[in-house]
Amino acid sequence: GVAKIKLLKAAFEDPDADIPWQQKKRFDDFDYGYALTVHKAQGSQWNEIVLFDESWAFKETRQRWLYTAITRAAERLTIVR
């Protein structure tokens, strides 16, 4: 088959360029995030989960995949479709 690919280019200016670094510094802290496949996460649990719903790829086992993914979250689950 043939795939048609269209590339879009855009340039963005830094909207924070005029803010002194001392002021920006307090917002620079972050916490590390980790990514796992649902298969790899089986048997584990975390307080917060962000799930990228790829259940469409598992046709016959879709419900089992979703159940496994959803039950990894102990407190909060966000599903991105």
pTM of the model: 0.56
Residue 17 in any domain: the answer is: no
Could you give the percent of the chain with pLDDT greater than 90? 49
In a domain, 71, yes or no: yes
Q: Does residue 42 lie in a domain region?
A: yes
**26 belongs to a structural domain:** no
Whether 39 is covered by a domain: the verdict is yes
Strands annotated E in the chain: 46-52, 73-80
Tens of pLDDT along 6-43? 666 666 666 667 777 676 666 656 667 788 899 999 99
With respect to residue 2, please indicate whether it lies within any of the assigned structural domains.
no
d(Cα 75, Cα 59) in Å, to the nearest integer?
Answer: 28
Structural domain boundaries, residue 70? 32-80
Strand partners, 76: 48
Report the chain's mean pLDDT, rounded to a whole number.
81
- Structural domains of the chain, count: 1
